[in-house]
Chain A
Amino acid sequence: MKQPSDLLVSVFDAALLRSASLLVPSIQREEWRREWSAELWHVRRSCISVDDTFSWEAQREITGFCLGAFPDALCLRSQPAKGNPAPVHVHGSATQTLLWLSAALALCFVISRLLPGVEAETEAARYQIKPTVLLVSEAAADSTQPSISAALYQNWKITRQRFFQELAFYRISREAADAGRVSMPWNVAHSTTNLFSLLGLPIKYADQRQDTDFSLPAVILSHDVWMRSFAGDPHIAGHVLRIGHTRVRIAGVAPAGGWQLPGAPDVWLLESDAQFASEASSRTNGYLFAQLSPRGQAAMSGPGISISALNQDGTAIDMFGAPIVAPVEGPWGIYEFALFLALVALPAVTSVSLGDTHVSSHRPSMKQRLNRVVFLGAKFAIIAAIAFAASLDLAYSNTLGYSPLAECLQLLWCFTICLFGFRWAVADQRKRCPVCLRRVTNPATVGLASRTFLGWNGTEMICMGGHALLHVPSLPTSWFSGQRWLYLDSSWDFLFADSCVY
């Protein structure tokens, strides 16, 4: 009959073996467990006395035996399974380099997906205002200043137009807004309901809720206000806030490209024509947008169109309509330009030669040469992709929305990363064995600089795979200007054979 303490220790020992077995590869686990269980049976029988009395010393010995199962399990785990090839030595290999670069690329892309500024820039480039939409202003006035009165817009609206098929208007006023938690003055654009459709801009996160009070006037938030005051909440549509003395409902968010509109509106309060006519003072100036008709497009020549019109009092006024030129290049346009600049500048910062001079007549096979070219191409491609993602990350790390400064930073970072990344790729390629693409190691200085005219001096490095020696001269001379590869024959093999020493 076993004592309770003996039983407890037996359970503990069995648990130790079971825990250790989890470290063993599953295919070998069952046999491993069977062997250790059998050995434990014999150890117990050997350690425990014949009369079966409990002894702490014996139990300690048995538990010590069980603890030895862990190094054994780890040993099995580190061994390749039968039939499987031995693990490839990846230290300094082409595979390891590509894995590191790929990991860096994945990290940069993940970060760029999380930055709101990157999304804003992409949106700004994607949602451009239609090129057939003109911003109409007085010819003598600055187009960024409101110059068209609301009354004139109303007059044009009811008059048959020759060159325009649709008109939209907004006027800016500074009003206090109260959204519960936040209360601040906003640039409110009182606009006609057709403004966004005329400009060709979509409304994001449009209100789909059933419980929304649609009798309230609708307001569209600018991307900046949505990010700044509502933390980019995608479910913001339907919420009610107060602008001035009016309760309004949020109907959606303008895309990041909305910043291109003059007056820098924070919100657009959409008003029906009736509301607009009654509310807007006839003297209030605003911005007028006109959609060109096919006839207007044909008549338009040059950067804009000159318009002669009559004012309400019958006096003639000269106006000018110009398309809203979007200066947003978009991340791809900037990237392509930076990539081009970096490729052009690369020969200025490094030699583009890969040092393929060979001392011996041996030449790598076509497959090895192809692998080398593919590896260099892969490094260039991954570095170029890293430059795209990392430049966006760095440019927009402190910016919530689109900004021209961030675009400049993106260009600068992209150029820098591409240039120095490509430089590293070429330098790294020169130090890789042409046969196995591993980096050469163990640099040894040979010769003395003071004896340059008597003999060669420089650095020798060797491929750990035993394929080649690389000679790099300290001072380029007429007879030894660049690095050279010396291929090792089979007589060197014994130096690189894997020895099996326990």
Chain B
Amino acid sequence: MAAEAKLSHTAAMILQALSAGYVYGFSIMEMTGLPSGTVYPAMRRLERDELIRSQWERQSIADAEQRPPRKYYKLTAAGRATLEASRKRYPLLERLIATEEAKTT
């Protein structure tokens, strides 16, 4: 996957949300306001192109909190580079979903 792949605004928003610490599907839905039928397929494609990767939460953590384990997503290096390129393309992206660093500064 080329680092300079052009992302749609939706895919860029999802990458930005992941970068901002929203690491599972439902939280991204809540943050972006996108429906589940958009968010999850987009994450499949991003994962296929190795811009994000997923990891299951440990069972012991989920058991301790008496809930089913969740699948977490995080950006890869290629994903971070693509997000940087997308931020230049969509300058308002960071204002829509502020990252932790942006919040603290």
Neighbouring A residues of B90 by C-beta, 8 Å: none
Known contacts A35-B71, A71-B40; 9 further A-B pairs (Cβ under 8 A): A41-B68, A65-B36, A67-B37, A68-B39, A69-B37, A72-B41, A75-B44, A499-B6, A502-B42
A500 and B49 contact, CB distance less than 8 A = yes
Instruction: List chain A positions with a Cβ less than 8 A from chain B.
Output: 34-35, 37-39, 41-43, 45-46, 64-72, 74-76, 79, 499-502
* Chain A residues within an 8 Å CB radius of B25: 35, 39
**Beta-carbon contact of B37 and A68 below 8 Å:** yes
Q: Which residue of A lies closest to B11 (CB)?
A: A502
Q: Nearest chain A CB to B70's CB is how many angstroms away?
A: 5
The distance from the CB of B47 to the nearest CB of chain A, in whole angstroms, is 10
The answer, among A34, A37, A67, A75, for a CB contact under 8 Å with B45, is A75
Bound-state CA distance A38–B72 (Å) is: 11
B37 touches A42 (CB 8 A): no
Q: Which residues of B contact A39 (CB under 8 A)?
A: 24-26, 36, 70
- CB contacts (< 8 Å) of B10 on chain A: these are 502
Q: Are B5 and A501 in contact (CB under 8 A)?
A: yes
- B96 to A: closest C-beta gap in Å: 17
A72 interface neighbour in B5, B6, B44, Cβ under 8 Å: B44
Q: A79 — which chain B residues lie within 8 A by C-beta?
A: 44-45, 48
Tell me whether A42 and B44 are in contact in the complex, defined as CB-CB below 8 angstroms, given that A69-B36, A500-B5, A502-B8 are known contacts. no
Closest-by-CB residue of A relative to B1 is A500
26 A–B contacts from the bound complex (CB under 8 Å): A34-B71, A35-B25, A35-B71, A39-B24, A39-B25, A39-B36, A41-B68, A42-B24, A43-B26, A45-B67, A64-B35, A68-B40, A69-B37, A69-B40, A70-B37, A71-B38, A71-B40, A72-B44, A75-B45, A500-B5, A501-B6, A502-B6, A502-B8, A502-B10, A502-B11, A502-B42
Considering only residues 1-56 of chain B, those with a C-beta below 8 Å from chain A are 1-2, 5-8, 10-11, 24-26, 29-30, 35-42, 44-45, 48-49
| Residue of B whose beta carbon sits closest to that of A37 | B68
Contacts of A68 in B (CB 8 A): 35-40
Chain A residue contacts of B37, Cβ below 8 A: 67-72
Which of B35, B41, B70 sits near A42, CB closer than 8 Å? B70
Docked CA distance A68–B25 (Å): 12
Q: B44 and A38: CB pair below 8 A?
A: no
- Per a CB cutoff under 8 Å, which of A45, A65, A76, A500 touches B2? A500
Q: A70-B37, A71-B37, A75-B45 are in contact. Are A502 and B26 (CB under 8 A)?
A: no
For the complex, what is the distance from the CA of A72 to the CA of B10, rounded to whole Å? 15
With both chains docked as a complex, state the minimum distance between the C-beta of B2 and any C-beta of chain A, in angstroms: 7
**Residue in chain A with minimal CB distance to B10:** A502
Q: How far apart are the CA atoms of A68 and B40 in the complex, in Å?
A: 8
A24 and B75 alpha carbons, distance in the complex (Å):
25
CA distance in complex: A101, B44 (Å): 37
Closest residue of chain B to A67 (Cβ to Cβ) is: B37
CA distance A65 to B71 in the complex (A): 17
Contact check, B7 vs A46: say whether CB atoms are below 8 A apart. Answer: no
Docked CA distance A45–B41 (Å): 23
